[in-house]
Amino acid sequence: MKCLPPILSAVALLSLAACEDAPLPDQTGLDATSVPGTLIQSAPLDPAYSIPGAGKALSISYLSTNGVTGTGLVPVTGEVIYPAGPAPAGGWPVVAWAHGTVGIAQACAPSRNPPSSRNATYLGAWLKRGFAIVATDYQGLGGEGVHPYLNARAEAYSVLDSVRAAQKALPELDRKVLIVGQSQGAGAAFAAAAYAQTYAPTLDIRGTVATGIPYMTPQIAQALLADPGKPVGKGSGKGSVKDEPDPIVAYALLMGASEAGLNPAFSPTEAFTPKAMHAFGAASQMCLTGLLDVVKADGLTRANAFQPGLGHALAPVLQAMAYPTLKLNAPLFVGTGTADVDVAPQGQLLLVKDACQAGTTVQAHLYKGLDHSQTVLASLKDSEAFTTAVMANEPVTPSCAPTPQ
C-alpha cells in the first residue's frame, strides 16, 4: 500500500505472529454505551500484517467519539504491535502511529493489509527503539460507516482513543506516548496533539513526529476555492499521462467520494467532469494504488478532471482539515523533503513558521533532494535524537527556519 498525502497538501502553498503467551481476556462483552477509549475486542493479528521481528501483535476494535458530528460513539479498528522480548519495568512506551492515505474503502485499512516495505522498515525502527505501536485505522476504515477523509477531528479522536483503549485494557504498556505520523497521518498526528489538550488531557504525550505534513488555513482554502485546478508550489505540476498519474487528482476524487458518502447533497458533477466520473466511482471502491492506476488509464489531469465548482463542492472537506490550534503542549518534529511533489515543501515550512509563532517548540528538518516517501526513512536519525530528549523530559533545540541537510 502506498501512503500518500491529500490533495490540499500539494497545493499547500496556496495551499507478528501472536506469541505463545497466555491469551488476553475476551473484550467482546463490553456494554455498547461505554466511554470513548473503551476496547471492545482484541485478537491475534494476521502475521502477514505485522512488522518483521516484532513480538506479540493484535488487531483491536475500540470506541471513539464520532469526529464528524462531535457526539456519539463509533467503533474503530486498529492494531497493537509489541517489540520482541520482555517488557521493561513499567511497560513499553507507546508510539501512536497515524498512517498516510490508503483509500477510503474499508478493505484498505492497514490492519487488513501487509505494511509497505517502507512502513515496515520505519515502524520496525520504532520497535527497536523500545516502543509498542498502537495504530488506528481511522474512523470508517476497517469499521462501520464512511471514512471522513482528511477530517482532522475524526482523525485526532481515532488516534487518541486508540491509545486510551490500549493503555486501559492491554498489558505491558507504559503511560508515556509519542505521536508519529506521515502525510495524511502527519496531519492526523498534529491534530491529535492539538485536540488532546481538551479531549484527552490526561494522556502523557511527550511529543509529535511528523513527516510530509499537510497544512490548511483559511487563506489557503480561499485561494483553492478561487482556482482549484491551478498548479501551485514547487513540483506541483507532476502527473502527465505519459509520466506518472497525478496524485492530486486521486486525492480530490477520494475527498469527493468521502463527502458523497457523508453528505447526500454533494453533487459529483459540480466537482468533476464527465471524463472523471469513472474514476470517481472507483474512489469509493478501490485503494489508493488501484485508483492511481485508473487515473493514469483514463488520462486524467487536473485540467480535464476538475470542474470550476470543485472548491465549492469540497468546501466542507477543506474546512474540516483545519487544526483547532497551532500551539501544542509538547515539542513537534517536522521532516520535509525539498523534492516533495506530493505535499509542497513551502506549505510544510509555513506550518513550521506559524506553529513556532503560536508558541510550539518546533524542531524542523529539511532534507535536500528527497521526495515525500524518501524523507520518511531519512528522518529516522534526527527523530531518534528528538525522541530521546522528549521522552526524558529534556529540552529540545528549536529550529523554525531549517536549512537543507
Q: Cβ(102)–Cβ(3) under 8 Å?
A: yes
* Per-residue pLDDT at 34: 80
Beta strands in 195-354 (DSSP E): 204-211, 332-337
Whether 222 maps to a domain, the answer reads no
208 and 248 belong to one structural domain: no
* Per-residue pLDDT at 243: 74
206 and 260 belong to one structural domain: no
313 and 349 belong to one structural domain: no
Q: Which amino acid is at 328?
A: L
- Cα–Cα distances (Å) from 55 to 18, 118, 136, 304, in that order, read 7, 19, 18, 49
Cα distance between residue 23 and residue 310, in whole Å: 51
- Residue in the block written with cell 515539542: 331
Whether 399 maps to a domain, the answer reads no
Band (216; pLDDT cuts 50, 70, 90): confident
Q: 155-194 as b/e, with b when 16 or more CB fall inside 10 Å?
A: bbbbbbbbbbbbbebbebbbebbbbbbbbbbbbbbbbbbb
| Among the ranges given (8-17, 107-116, 387-396), the one the predictor scored with the smallest mean pLDDT | 8-17
Q: Which amino acid is at 281?
A: G
Whether residue 162 has pLDDT greater than 90: yes
- Residue in the block written with cell 495524511: 184
Q: Cβ(63)–Cβ(194) under 8 Å?
A: no
Cα distance between residue 25 and residue 4, in whole Å: 36
Cα distance between residue 152 and residue 321, in whole Å: 5
* Per-residue pLDDT at 7: 36
CATH code (residue 128): 3.40.50.1820
Cα distance between residue 127 and residue 252, in whole Å: 34
Band (217; pLDDT cuts 50, 70, 90): confident
Cell of 97: 502511529
| Bridge partner list, 334 | 210, 364
Look at residues 280, 297, 319 and tell me which one is the last residue of a structural domain. 319
Domain that holds residue 244: 229-319
Whether residue 315 has pLDDT greater than 60: yes
Choice between 195 and 341, residue whose per-residue pLDDT is larger: 195
341 and 313 belong to one structural domain: no
Cell of 227: 482556482
Whether residue 16 has pLDDT greater than 60: no
Helix (H) or strand (E) holding 94: strand 92-98
303 and 341 belong to one structural domain: no
Look at residues 295, 319, 343 and tell me which one is the last residue of a structural domain. 319
Residues 6 or more apart whose Cβ sits within 8 Å of residue 405: 365, 366, 367, 368
Whether 133 maps to a domain, the answer reads yes
In tens, the pLDDT along 98-140 reads: 999 999 999 999 999 999 999 999 999 999 999 999 999 999 9
Q: Cβ(79)–Cβ(94) under 8 Å?
A: no
* Per-residue pLDDT at 231: 40
Share of the chain above pLDDT 70, in %: 86
Band (338; pLDDT cuts 50, 70, 90): very high
Cα distance between residue 247 and residue 244, in whole Å: 9
198 and 100 belong to one structural domain: yes
Whether 353 maps to a domain, the answer reads yes
374 and 279 belong to one structural domain: no
* Per-residue pLDDT at 22: 30
Whether residue 10 has pLDDT greater than 60: no
- Residue in the block written with cell 512502513: 119
Rg (C-alpha) for the chain, rounded Å, is: 20
* Per-residue pLDDT at 1: 38
Q: Cβ(19)–Cβ(7) under 8 Å?
A: no
This prediction's pTM: 0.89
Once rounded to an integer, what is the mean pLDDT over residues 192-221?
A: 93
Whether 387 maps to a domain, the answer reads yes
Whether 151 maps to a domain, the answer reads yes
Once rounded to an integer, what is the mean pLDDT over residues 85-97?
A: 97
Band (224; pLDDT cuts 50, 70, 90): low
Question: What φ, ψ does residue 100 adopt, rounded to 5°?
Answer: -80, 180
User: Would you call 80 exposed, middle or buried from its count of C-beta atoms within 10 A (0-12, 13-18, 19+)?
Assistant: buried
Look at residues 319, 339, 365 and tell me which one is the last residue of a structural domain. 319
Cell of 353: 513558521
315 and 327 belong to one structural domain: no
Choice between 43 and 16, residue whose per-residue pLDDT is larger: 43
Cα distance between residue 199 and residue 188, in whole Å: 14
Whether residue 32 has pLDDT greater than 90: no
* Per-residue pLDDT at 219: 74
- Residue in the block written with cell 497525478: 246
Cell of 122: 520505519
Give the number of domains in the chain: 2
| Among the ranges given (65-69, 244-248, 283-287, 326-330), the one the predictor scored with the smallest mean pLDDT | 244-248
Once rounded to an integer, what is the mean pLDDT over residues 151-158?
A: 98
* Per-residue pLDDT at 56: 97
The per-residue pLDDT of the chain, averaged, comes to 88
- Cα–Cα distances (Å) from 29 to 25, 26, 120, 223, in that order, read 10, 7, 33, 50
In tens, the pLDDT along 48-71 reads: 999 999 999 999 999 999 999 999
| Bridge partner list, 333 | 209, 363
Whether 121 maps to a domain, the answer reads yes
DSSP 337-367: ETT-SSS-HHHHHHHHHHHHHHT--EEEEEE
Whether 180 maps to a domain, the answer reads yes
Once rounded to an integer, what is the mean pLDDT over residues 362-369?
A: 98
